[in-house]
Structure 1
Amino acid sequence: MTPAINLAKKAKVAHSVHEYTHDTASESYGLEAVEKLGLDVHQVFKTLVVKLDAETLAVGIIPVSEKLSMKQIAKAAGAKKANMAEPAEVERATGYVLGGVSPLGQKKRLKTFIDDSAQQQSSIFVSAGRRGLEIELAPQDLLKLVNGKYAALCQKA
């Protein structure tokens, strides 16, 4: 059991947990989940931690097939700029290892933004707090659990 799964259970949110054997040679944890679980690429979301204005950490949750726009997440957060947070900082703040960072059950609750494309899905998959472990839940339940906001977060092609 991970803090993410425990949080969903405690909140009595409908969810299901999906496990697969993680391949350490995999270059993309999210795309590995899509492939191994046979999922739609638009339904699996990755959890990215950014640093806003060089001081505050925030979370962006976007489809695994997309790239996070630093301009868009900064705008959503009301910040001037955003950069990817350092791995050690991410692990310290969330309590999770990279590739297994869940938006749920983080050590420190960070301001969280979910790409608005999530609203088009009946359920989405996010990391359940360990590589090879995904939790499926309704986007609106995730939004409530993380006290988040929807925003356009992806880079335009």
Structure 2
Amino acid sequence: MPRSKGATPALKALASSGIAHTLHEYHHDPRSNSYGLEAASALGVEPERVFKTLVATDGTRLVVGIVPVHRHLDLKALAAVLGVKRLSMADPAEVERATGMVVGGISPVGQRKALSTVLDGSASDHETILVSGGRRGLDVELAPGDLVEVAGAVVAEIAAG
């Protein structure tokens, strides 16, 4: 596997798990409006295979939803899967503190605190998917089942649009 400059916590977690993955680096443009769509375009990968890591809150805890970059997180569906009444998107500063990663580079792997995580069911339509490797400009390609294993995720339909 290629080595990236400065292993992120996500890359360290993947290495220690022994899960097969491939690194994909690209030049991040700070003017980009959508980190995920930027990654798909820069890497020449269809947006259906590139997934973004979004963090929501029920007011007491943070939870993660992983959905394709061209779709939106359905907060009602995510809440139902997790058995909570209502979710809203979490404050970016709180997310960065909890995960140890910056917005636009938050990986579902290697977060500072283990958060309840749900991967959208559309991931299983693909042999491999890409998620952030823990910093802007770095994605990791791996099998959806391996992501579920290493992130402790469950799979459910949580994407909209």
Instruction: Give TM-score, length-normalised by structure 2.
Output: 0.95
Q: Are 2:155 and 1:150 equivalent residues in the alignment?
A: yes
Which residue is 1:66 aligned to?
71
Aligned positions, number: 155
Q: 1:20 aligns with which of 26, 48, 52?
A: 26
Listed one character per residue, the Cα deviations across residues 103-145 of structure 1 (whole Å, up to 9, x for unaligned) are: 0000000000000000111000000000000000000000000
Aligned to 2:120: 115
What's the counterpart of residue 80 of structure 2?
75
Query: What per-residue deviation string (whole Å, max 9, x for no partner) do you get for residues 22-54 of structure 1?
Result: 0011000000001000001110000000002x1
Opposite residue 103 of structure 1, the aligned amino acid is P
Looking at structure 1, the residues matched to 159 and 31 of structure 2 have their Cα atoms a distance apart, in angstroms, of 26
**Alignment counterpart, residue 7 of structure 1, candidates 10, 13, 26:** 13
Q: Residue 4 of structure 2 corresponds to which residue in structure 1?
A: none
Separation in 2 of the partners of 1:15 and 1:87?
28
Q: In structure 1, give the amino acid aligned to 2:151.
A: V
TM-score by length of 1: 0.97
RMSD: 0.6
Gaps of 5+ in 2: 1-6
Letter in 1 for 2:131: V
CA distance in 2 between partners of 1:96 and 1:74 (Å): 24
Q: Does 1:85 align with 2:90?
A: yes
The one-letter code sitting in structure 1 at the alignment partner of 2:31 is A
Report the equivalent of 1:105.
110
